[in-house]
Amino acid sequence: MSVRTETDAVAVVDTTFDDVFSLVDGWREQIERHVASAEPRVADIDDLVERLVVPDLSRDGALIIGAGFVAQPGFLRDAPWHLAWWLGHANTFGVTGPAAPELRRLVAVEDEDSESFRDYTTLEWWRVPATTHERHITGPYVDYLCTDDYTLTSTMPAFHDGRMIGVVGADLYVNDIERALLPAVRGAGRHAALVNASGRVVVASDSSRPTGSLMRRDTWGEHDRVVPCANGLTLLIDD
């Protein structure tokens, strides 16, 4: 689609992230259905999540580079803390040597007594969807623990019997998002910036607005147009 107006730009931005969230939402639905019919156990959840996310991670041209389910502490009968998370072919985290990375599981240390134990429920990708019950985009942020690169994480909560059982989500590289969205953002104007809910720049047509810099919310009113997009994103445009 040729992008000529801000409306076109919003459509491209929304489609890009809606596509990611529709994958995540599909996985969420399957996980909730499984949980409704069976006692939640680690092995079954892992099998299920692997079957759900691996085909989407393996698809040619897939934007997502990591995906899975993170359990609410105490939800699974046989593990107080649990992550069922897979890393895609393009994810270079922890890869050593010249061989191309393979699709693989993120192996987690989940021992509460371990000195290295930290509560993942304090992190933004968990905390925000757990509080708002809405989908949420975390980042751009430098994810030095899991993707080793500049990342966006899309998460949404999953429920059973009205209680949250975990979050389902996917990681994207900011580089890929820039390639996917820059033409659209340019179409919205020479001084257009797509920002996240905190005002952090995701991609801007104006190279003086670097990705990762902040356009703080209390200054949004100074821009000529403030155009809300889906998924908590906003286009700030100056004529």
Partner 1 sequence: MQVPAMLRSDHMPQSIRTSTSAGAVVFAPLEGAGRAELVERRLTDAIVLGLLSDGEKLPSESEMARRFGVATVTAREALESLRDKGLVDTRRGRDGGSFVTAGRDRTRRVLDARVRSLSRVELRDMGTYYAAIAGSCAALAADRSTEDDLERLRAISLVLDDDETAARRRQGSVQLEIAALSQSPRLVREELRMQAEFAPLLWLWLREPEYRRRSLDARTAVLDALAAGDADSARERTVTLVAEAIEWLLATKSDLEEQA
- Is 151 one of the binding residues for partner 1 (CB under 8 A)? yes
* Contacts (CB under 8 A) with partner 1, residues 61-80: 66
In the complex, the smallest distance separating the C-beta of residue 15 from partner 1, rounded to whole angstroms, is 22
- Is 150 one of the binding residues for partner 1 (CB under 8 A)? yes
- Is 214 one of the binding residues for partner 1 (CB under 8 A)? yes
Residue 178's CB is within 10 A of a number of other CB atoms, namely 16
Burial class of 50 by CB neighbour count within 10 A (0 to 12, 13 to 18, 19+): middle
* Secondary structure (DSSP) of 62-120: -SEEEEEEEEPTT-STT-SS-EEEEE-TT--TT--SSSPPPPEE------TTSTT---G
Residue number, 26 or 94, with CB nearest to partner 1: 94
**Do 172 and 154 contact (CB within 8 A), yes or no?**
yes
Residue number, 215 or 229, with CB nearest to partner 1: 215
- Is 85 one of the binding residues for partner 1 (CB under 8 A)? yes
* Contacts (CB under 8 A) with partner 1, residues 117-146: 117-120, 122-125, 138, 140-146
Using the contact rule CB under 8 A, the part of the chain among 29-37, 49-57, 97-105, 186-194 near partner 1 is 97-105
- Is 99 one of the binding residues for partner 1 (CB under 8 A)? no
In the complex, the smallest distance separating the C-beta of residue 216 from partner 1, rounded to whole angstroms, is 8
Q: Rounded CA gap, 71 and 168, in Å? A: 9
- Is 94 one of the binding residues for partner 1 (CB under 8 A)? yes
Of the residues 34, 89, 104, 191, which one makes contact with partner 1 according to CB under 8 A: 104
Q: Rounded CA gap, 44 and 50, in Å? A: 10
Q: Rounded CA gap, 222 and 236, in Å? A: 10
Sheet holding 234-238, edge to edge: 201-204, 191-195, 234-238, 225-228
* Contacts (CB under 8 A) with partner 1, residues 5-64: none
Q: Rounded CA gap, 52 and 169, in Å? A: 12
Residues lying near partner 1 in the complex (CB under 8 A) are found at 66, 81, 83, 85, 87, 93-97, 104-111, 114-120, 122-125, 138, 140-151, 153, 155, 169, 171, 198-200, 210-214
